[in-house]
Amino acid sequence: MSPSLILLVVVGAAYLAAHFVFDWVARRFLIVSAAEYLVLGILIGPQVSHSLDTRVLDSLTPIITLALGWIAVIVGTRFELRRLLVIPSRAFRIAFTESSITLLVVAGLEFLLLRWTIAATDPLALEAAITLGTMAVASSSVGVTLISSVLGTRGRVVEQLELSSAVNGFVAIVAFGLLLCYQHPPVPMYRPLTTTEWAVVSVALGVVGGALFHVFLGDTPEPDRLFISLVGAVVLVSGAATYVRVSPLLAAMMFGITLVNSTSEPDRLVAALRRVEQPFYYVLLVFGGASWQPSERAWVAPVLMFIVARAACKIGGSRLATRANGALGELGPRWGLGLLGQGRLTLAIGINSLHQESIVFRNLIFTAAVASIILTEFFSARLARFAVAGGGPGGEGEPGEPGEPSQSRASEA
């Protein structure tokens, strides 16, 4: 089968699966599809069947860049100021505290382990450890959204999980983007830019792109025109960031933040972005799996450390953050279970790392992302169910059986 036909089949299957299979399977069995598409990508990739070789994967880089940018834009749209201003500051403190604990602890443990197992120099080990730490921070909200929809109710635990996953994404993208600015390769010019200046370039690409999009398109009521314009804008912003070797994730997230806060109809904008979010994720999963290569380094211990340390930080860090802010009785001791699922953003950071020459131990880092997604995404909805069931007075209490939505679903905002 030719590579072009394989690409067509993958994209078509991803679209059909997202629209006809994903929702039914998720509601009926509380299973979030992801791991099987990664495995499929590995099977058709150069490591197994060679249906997609390295040359073909390199030619598909623009599509992968668009998918990365699309995911980051959706993260940015979750930071609409009008909605954030009504959220209590304590909820933000809990979310940022948990994110900081996860980033620092996982990065610190990985740094020590990499220095011991691979005998890397301090700068190389630190850069790889920070990259792993940013991936550890990221968490998927798909399981939480699914449980909220199945139960038909919302409560304090669900709201905190949704906010925390959004803050996790923000912290992960910013930390990874700043790391790439710090590691930026030298550019022949009169005066090389500093890390701060590269960070300003990354943010400016997204802000200027969002401002220009809003100026030229405005609040168009035509969904098809809006969607096509969004595709072009995301390609422009993420492609420009990739060209100057900064993170397309950071530029695209700032593009999303700018858009959602400059339009009078943000819901229409978010709906256009969500329309193809799931197909893009499936495409990323397949081609991410095809891009996977076994690390030549001692990868088993760092990957196991990543999975175990991340789980401990998400559960323990969320509990510490909640106790420090006096909300343990409201959220319960195990709400952090809802943050264990890893999905879109973790894969996006892993793939972005894989295509950055300045990132060391790229295959090891991407292996950690693949292993974590396979182990956690399948159970993310059920873990979210336990988290919601363990909530305090602000939670929903014991959830019902899967596939039996509550009668109050109609009241969901």
* CATH at residue 268: 1.20.1530
Token readout for 383 is: 């873990």
Domain-located, residue 182: yes
pTM to 2 decimals? 0.86
What residues contact 26, with CB distance under 8 A and at least 6 apart? 32, 33, 146, 381
How confident is the model at residue 90, as a pLDDT?
93
Domain-located, residue 22: no
Task: Give the distance from CA 222 to its chain's centroid.
Answer: 29
Token readout for 101 is: 């604990």
* Distances in whole angstroms, Cα of residue 231 to Cα of each of 58, 134, 148, 321, 355: 21, 27, 30, 39, 22
Domain-located, residue 102: yes
How confident is the model at residue 401, as a pLDDT?
37
Domain-located, residue 26: no
Domain count, the chain: 1
Cα separation, 189 vs 96, in Å, equals 38
Cα separation, 208 vs 216, in Å, equals 12
Q: Is 188 exposed, middle or buried (0-12, 13-18, 19+ CB in 10 A)?
A: exposed
Domain-located, residue 63: yes
408 residue type, one letter: S
Q: Are 160 and 168 in contact (CB under 8 A)?
A: no
**Over its length of 413 residues, how does the chain's per-residue pLDDT go in tens digits?**
555 555 556 556 655 555 555 555 555 545 566 677 787 778 777 777 666 777 777 777 888 888 899 999 999 999 999 999 999 999 999 999 999 999 999 999 999 999 888 866 778 889 999 999 999 999 987 777 777 776 666 788 888 999 999 999 999 999 999 999 998 887 776 678 889 999 999 999 999 998 888 776 666 667 778 888 888 899 999 999 999 899 999 999 999 999 999 887 888 888 888 888 877 888 888 888 888 887 777 788 999 999 999 999 999 999 999 999 988 888 888 888 888 888 789 999 999 998 887 788 888 999 999 889 888 877 777 777 777 776 554 444 444 333 343 333 333 32
Domain enclosing residue 62, as ranges: 31-399
Q: Is 284 exposed, middle or buried (0-12, 13-18, 19+ CB in 10 A)?
A: buried
Q: Are 234 and 69 in contact (CB under 8 A)?
A: yes
Could you give the angle at the alpha carbon of 140 between the alpha carbons of 316 and 335, nearest 5°?
A: 35
Domain-located, residue 7: no
